Chain A
Amino acid sequence: MDLGGYADNVARIDLASGRVAYEHIDESDARKYVGGRGLGVKFVFDNGPTVDPLGPDNLLCFMNGPLTGTDVTMSGRMAIVTKSPLTGTVTDSHHGGWSAARLRWAGFDALLFRGRAAKPVYAFVENGKVELRDASDLWGKGVHETVKTLLKRYGDDTSVIAIGPAGERLVRYASFINENDRASGRGGTGAVAGSKQLKAIVIRAKKAIPKAKDKDAFKAAHQRALAVIMDESTVTSPRKGGLSVYGTNVLMNVTNAIGALGAKNSQQTTFAAAEEIAGEKIKETILVHDPTCHACPVACKKEVETHGKYAVHMESFEYEPAWALGANCGNANRESIAYIIDLCNDYGMDAIELGQVLGMSMEASEKELIKERIEWGDTDRMVELTHLIGRREGIGDTMAEGTQRAAERFGDGNLAMAVKGQSTPAYDPRGLKGMGIAYATSNRGACHLRAYTPASELLGVPEKTDPLAWEGKGRLTKLLQDLHAVSDSFDLCKFSAFAEGPEEYAAQYSAVTGVRATGDDLLRIGERIYNLERHYNNLAGFREGSDYLPKRFLEEPSTAKGSEGHVCELDLMLREYYEARGWESGVVPDRKLKELQIV
């Protein structure tokens, strides 16, 4: 392949036989789907949409993009793409740190795992080769001990991406955790690995920045992108912007102020004690360090240290788990939140889904649907339940199935704030209407990252829209879904989109790969990727009626300042969205597939 940026090397690992085959990337696929999420979805699509997510035939892809490991700012992300055991959809989940860059420096664009190993194994990756090695001594160990053991074994310049006991026990929202704390959190990628007896990926590589196809153009494009990220008026500005200073948890107070912070399983849209768990308070009380990822000056990670009953030293105290384990559970104890996030990292579990299943169970307990007493804000009980879920013991076995399945077993599926089986994140769509259509139409189940509409509704990027208006949100969601589909395929950090736009992306992509592309070309690629995902889901059984929201968001008006009296007008937004997409009731028609050159 004659495109720059790529290693042009994909490893297909058959875990059953132990055989590893190496292949080049099809250039046509690289041009159409780029890499990362897009190319990963293509691999998963070609593997077939009807496989059992926890069966040996499911494909588990670790994906880089053509910008990964380069000097492009914020290019340290890796995509894990597979069919989700939580949702039954195609899913991709990304993590930061250094493993993505090291995978590229080790000579790979992708590692594709299929089959089931006869005994626990890990994959050792170095110098363009993959070897499967015995992980029997690591099976049953937490992520932290696994990482420690493997780093001691392999030394410096090594990244370890591992699953914990939750993945081994097939908790449906088990995660892969990179380098101890960076989670590919959502969708249950860790459970897919557990079903294959794949404990970890170990990548050893020294820094070897890939050369851009056009060095002069790259220099100009890189400087232009860096300038907008560093600009003092942007949220990304190092040590000055809100994202850099407080991390993602700078959001807690603002979503609370506008009545878009769900509390107590979204029975409320504001949390009186939000300030106690917000980024400002974390910085004042328990913050000890601001770590970063490969090629990122923003340093949004927030490392904290707590003492006493919930003593822990961990990163990162993020908005999403702070909300899920905090406001959503009626919990204002920040030390307990840090402690439980670290437990999630050690078990290898999605902290959003955990917080939601805990909140849902608290409401089920309050309504006496279950015998167990689980009180709002009972932090000791939350810790105990986290252990039970991670081990699939007692009631934890049911809660390990995810919020939707657990709520149904408790007797009321409507208590689950979930879409397509995946729980909703930290933005209540009664106060941020765009998040309603974004959750409903996300191809991986409820997700805030497919189309991050708060960029527009709160920040004003690419343009300011009213969070309480539904008009235009269908079209906005399509635009942002397409943009993020392509940035996820580079694979760049989402947060670059707070400063950069399609033209900045296009200039860097063109300079690195040699493919001449405009911003509009990239949006077209993003649209193709989004439609391929949707086509996969359609073939997997997601048809008309699959894009919905929990009834609570549609029927129970907000009572909070800022959004009082509002519900989410999903049907109106869906009509606008489907029209913008050219879909028929959520299904991609043949003409669209042809138009986008998917078939």
Chain B
Amino acid sequence: MGVIRLYATLRARADGERAVEIGWRAGTTVGDAVRALIARKPGLEGHILDTRGCVVPYVSVFVEGRDIRHLAGLDTVLSAADEIAIFPPVAGG
């Protein structure tokens, strides 16, 4: 289905939306999907990817619950049914 779920302060930057359907095909990379998201929601510019196109420090991008920092990063290949979740820096106690 190609859904990216957004959390915490990222929602306000995406017009208040919790989830955005991107509709990627199998074989699309996370980087492609995130860039498509930012094109759709320009308020996210600079808050997920930095000017070099890398994930902003402390921002977490998960594919099916796994942080892409422990997969292949933005080159992680998606299946059509995968779900992406993106969080700004979060911690507490």
Contacts and interface: CB of A to CB of B under 8 A. Distances in A.
A242 B90 contact: yes
B64 A459 contact: no
A482 to B, nearest CB: 18
Contacts, number: 101
Contact of A280 (B11, B57, B67, B85): B11
A562 B62 contact: yes
Interface in B29-58: 56-58
Given A257-B85, A464-B69, A452 B90 contact: no
Interface in A465-501: 466-469, 494-495, 498
B1 interface: no
Contacts of A495: 91-93
Contacts of B80: none
Interface residues of A, number: 46
Interface string B4-26: 01011101000000000000000
A257 B93 contact: no
B58 A460 contact: yes
Given A234-B58, A494-B93, A560 B87 contact: no
Chain B interface extent, by class: 20 to 34
Contacts of B67: 258, 466-467
B7 A458 contact: no
Contacts of B69: 460, 464
B65 interface: yes
A246 B88 CA distance: 12
A455 interface: yes
A36 B11 CA distance: 40
A146 interface: no
A449 interface: yes
Given A458-B60, A562-B65, A235 B90 contact: yes
Given A241-B89, A458-B91, A459-B91, A235 B58 contact: yes
B93 A248 contact: yes
B7 A233 contact: no
11 contacts: A242-B91, A248-B92, A248-B93, A250-B91, A257-B5, A257-B7, A280-B7, A319-B93, A452-B91, A458-B90, A498-B91
Given A240-B9, A460-B57, A467-B67, 9 more contacts: A235-B89, A246-B8, A250-B8, A253-B87, A448-B93, A459-B89, A464-B69, A561-B65, A562-B65
